[in-house]
Amino acid sequence: MPDPPALQHADFAPLVGEAFTIRSSVVEHPIEATLIDARESTARPAPDAVRSPFSIQFQLPNTVQLPQGTVHVEHPAISPSDLFLVPIGTDDDGWYMEACFN
């Protein structure tokens, strides 16, 4: 079976503001997170790149703090995917994590 197509910025951009389900082995229950940003990079893609670089950011409830690592992300509009998320900050509104795609 061939690999699924690489996720693109265009897959996420229309989903900003929508809820995603995040599953991680470090928490017992799925986490509902909001996609708060999908940003194209200004960096030039490598000549053999399958996509242009971009990043996405999620806001998680401030009651959940995930460590950096791979999580399973689901949304009805895209194929379920394993993404490597990195914590980038926290405030009174939530915990923020980012995935970068090269």
Spans of all domains in the chain: 9-101
**Alpha-carbon torsion, ordered 94, 60, 27, 15, to 10 deg:** 180
Whether the pLDDT of residue 38 is over 60: the answer is: yes
**Alpha-carbon torsion, ordered 89, 35, 67, 41, to 10 deg:** -70
C-alpha to C-alpha distance for 55 and 75, rounded to whole angstroms: 17
Whether the pLDDT of residue 41 is over 80: the answer is: yes
Listed residue (4, 99, 20, 5) closest to 53, CA to CA: 99
Whether the pLDDT of residue 47 is over 90: the answer is: no
Mean pLDDT of the chain: 92
pTM: 0.90
